[in-house]
């Protein structure tokens, strides 16, 4: 008997990638329903009671009729969807956290939810270091000046140049999969790496990085990069008071989540000269409103929440979700379960 699977891809983790990855894991006795969600052509947002989702509950409900397994990156798993789709047993999400799933409701309905930790860690780590370099060397600003016909020698003035990574102290707030790779890359540049993360020990860091508390990290670091998850404790963890104790002329980078940072405080620090530069891939509101100070404050470098975008990230997301489908169909324990349900073939 065939197991019906919904491949709910988007324009990054495509439906074809999901189907191909599953067929490598489970070549027989499966059939597919397909749905393509509008992300990233249309920004993700809140759908029902879940965040960072794409598409609508009704279109997902229609596609899930008679389906036992759903693999996706952005589809919304809500109470409404779960109630309307009684055949669903596994919802495998190809992203680092299952923010688009109502886990409590999924558990009540007997649906196992999995996720894909680390699938974009290399891409995000590389982008983070690129943002550090872009801010330190003013690459976007000087590029823009050249495009407009300006050759500005004043960028070479002592007070206008930034630091090198070699020999600089770089502070990483958070040391998960991405923070670890950023530390490794920075080691190749010859930077001195400090880490603040209450969930790791010095032994976890190994050679080349030093675990410190947050005030010490901020006081010593010429570059500070955020890599924490958003929790009640970390929301707004970097604000005016924390930025004020950083060395004058520092650089602040956030490629994690907008909720970690008070952006007005960071922009104030840029205007006062407390910060030399700031580089952001994430924001308090996405897309950025046309009236935002982010668009007019000098020294800000921005990318539109794409630090994790690489072909390998999409391929990893598909492969990790497909692996969970294979485990489910073989009756094995799921590796990245997000809720207490233990899925098994019925």
> What are the catalytic residues?
257, 286, 305
Encoded tokens for 180: 């670890």
β-pairing, 192-196 with 275-280? unpaired
Tally of residues, the chain: 346
Instruction: Give the separation between CA 190 and CA 213, rounded to whole angstroms.
Output: 22
Helices 15-25/311-330 angle, 10° precision: 40
Measure CA 14 to chain center.
Answer: 18
Give Dmax (Cα) for the chain.
73
What backbone phi and psi angles, to 5 degrees, belong to 246?
Answer: -70, 150
CA-nearest of 92, 109, 106 to 7 is 92
β-pairing, 250-254 with 30-36? unpaired
Give the list of residues 6+ apart from residue 285 with CB closer than 8 angstroms, or none.
Answer: 258, 292
Instruction: Give the separation between CA 345 and CA 5, rounded to whole angstroms.
Output: 13
Buried b (16+ CB within 10 A) or exposed e, 318-336: bbbbbbbbebbbeeeebeb
Q: Give, in order, the Cα–Cα distances in Å from 1 to each of 23, 86, 130, 301.
A: 16, 19, 50, 54
Helices 139-147/121-136 angle, 10° precision: 70
Instruction: Give the separation between CA 252 and CA 216, rounded to whole angstroms.
Output: 16
The CA-CA-CA angle for residues 309, 38, 284, to 5°, reads 60
């Amino acid at each position: 008997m065939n197991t019906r699977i919904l491949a709910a891809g988007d324009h990054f983790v495509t439906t074809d990638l999901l189907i191909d990855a599953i067929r490598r894991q489970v070549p027989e006795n499966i059939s597919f329903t397909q749905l393509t969600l509008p992300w990233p052509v249309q920004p993700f947002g809140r759908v029902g009671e879940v965040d960072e989702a794409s598409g609508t509950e009704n279109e997902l409900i229609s596609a899930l009729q008679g389906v036992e397994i759903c693999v996706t990156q952005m589809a919304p798993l809500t109470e409404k969807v779960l109630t309307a789709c009684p055949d669903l047993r596994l919802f495998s999400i190809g992203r680092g956290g299952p923010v688009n799933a109502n886990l409590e409701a999924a558990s009540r309905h007997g649906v196992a939810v999995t996720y894909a930790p680390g699938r974009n860690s290399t891409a995000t780590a590389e982008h983070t270091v690129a943002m550090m370099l872009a801010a330190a060397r003013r690459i976007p600003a000087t590029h823009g000046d050249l495009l407009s016909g300006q050759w500005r020698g004043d960028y070479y003035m002592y007070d206008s140049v930034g630091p090198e990574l070699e020999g600089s102290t770089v502070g990483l707030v958070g040391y998960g999969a991405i923070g670890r790779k950023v530390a490794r890359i920075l080691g190749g540049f010859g930077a001195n790496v400090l880490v603040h993360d209450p969930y790791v020990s010095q032994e976890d860091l190994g050679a080349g990085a030093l675990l410190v508390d947050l005030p010490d990290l901020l006081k010593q670091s010429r570059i500070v990069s955020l890599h924490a998850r958003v929790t009640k404790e970390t929301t707004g963890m970097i604000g005016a008071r924390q930025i004020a104790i950083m060395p004058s002329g520092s650089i602040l980078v956030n490629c994690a989540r907008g909720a970690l940072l008070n952006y007005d405080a960071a922009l104030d620090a840029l205007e006062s000269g407390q910060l030399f530069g700031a580089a952001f891939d994430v924001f308090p509101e996405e897309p950025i409103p046309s009236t935002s100070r982010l668009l007019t404050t000098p020294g800000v470098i921005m990318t539109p929440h794409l630090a994790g975008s690489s072909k390998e990230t999409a391929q990893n997301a598909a492969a990790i979700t497909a692996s969970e489908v294979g485990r489910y169909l073989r009756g094995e324990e799921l590796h990245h379960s997000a809720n207490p349900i233990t899925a098994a073939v019925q």
